[in-house]
Amino acid sequence: MISFKNNNNTPKIVSPSASMEAEAKDWIKCPSCRSLLYSKHLKENLQVCPKCSHHFRLNALEWMELLLDENSFKPFHTDMTALDILEFSDQDSYADRITKATQKASFNEAIQVGTAQIESQPLAFGVMDFQFIGGSMGVVVGEKIVRLAEKAQEEHLPLLIISASGGARMQEGMFSLIQMARTAGAIGRFQKHQGLYLSLLTHPTTGGVSASFAFLGDIILSEPQALIGFAGARVIEQTTRQKLPPRFQTAEFLLEHGQIDKIVERKFMKRVIGRILSFYYEGHHSAMGVK
């Protein structure tokens, strides 16, 4: 509501018009520098704040548009959906959560997998979507990653997985935790057959995902300022009874301590990955005697 005084000095209340409400939605406050950003300009800048370079989270579709060659993505296993194995219920039933998440994320699970091309170079590709129940890893996510790694191994393709997750999916209990071992095993078998695995960590990559396939990459990339870790900082401090160092669990901290290989700004991400794939294929062809 808007309050002001007219010529008779009488207070008057005016409801905001639909156009005013629509205009307000066009502006987004940066959570880092608190600047007001016009949503159209933010989109043109790849969802990166022009004032402080804060990287807003991208969904799965936006990552596909940013990295993949046009019309190159060929998805598979799109019909796989989670089952309410434990008949779990808290504030909402798990079945209801799945339905709501599907409507919100426009996908039926927290990861999309398939084959694609980046700068005309083929690869096996997986991308997580934080909009779907916090990008949590349940049975379907684990199974899709296993099958993606097997597909990459069968077709001798490099593998790229983009992680964005709060960890294992609590509504599936032990079944979700088992996926940590299953995904790690599948990635290990792929690497044993000289497969190249690129892991891209985005904000946030935590819990069971960070403790399994996300940190097994031959090359591990990250976006700036991404939150990356296993347990929350508060839990760690309470357990160890020690004050954590500044910037703990940020991409920059992990780079300084040798846990990731490179931090890449979003505008350079496709170029960097494309160059890595180019080096891989040049080396692979050279080893095979192909010119």
pLDDT-derived band of residue 266, with 50, 70 and 90 as boundaries? very high
pLDDT at 106: 80
pLDDT at 6: 54
CA nearest neighbour of 47 among 38, 58, 36, 31: 58
Measured from the Cβ of residue 37, the count of other Cβ atoms closer than 10 Å reads: 22
CA atoms within 13 A on the CB side of 101: 22
**12 pLDDT exceeds 70?**
no
* Residue 220 DSSP SS3: strand
d(CA 228, CA 145): 20
pLDDT-derived band of residue 17, with 50, 70 and 90 as boundaries? low
CA nearest neighbour of 77 among 117, 111, 104: 111
CA atoms within 13 A on the CB side of 43: 8
pLDDT at 138: 97
Distance, C-alpha 21 to centroid of its chain: 31
d(CA 9, CA 12): 9
Segment among 52-66, 77-91, 126-140 with least mean pLDDT: 77-91
Q: Report whether 222 contacts 245 (CB < 8 A).
A: no
Q: For residue range 188-219, what is the model confidence (pLDDT) as tens digits?
A: 999 999 999 999 999 999 999 999 999 999 99
In this structure, are strands 111-118 and 74-75 parallel, antiparallel, or unpaired?
antiparallel
Q: For residue range 31-43, what is the model confidence (pLDDT) as tens digits?
A: 999 999 999 999 9
pLDDT-derived band of residue 56, with 50, 70 and 90 as boundaries? very high
pLDDT at 234: 87
In 3-state terms the chain splits into helix, strand, coil percentages (rounded to 5) of: 40, 20, 35
Q: Which of 84-88, 161-165, 231-235 has maximum average pLDDT? A: 161-165
pLDDT at 9: 59
Higher pLDDT, 20 or 261: 261
pLDDT-derived band of residue 288, with 50, 70 and 90 as boundaries? low
Query: What percent of the chain is predicted at pLDDT more than 90?
Result: 79
Average pLDDT, rounded, for the chain = 91
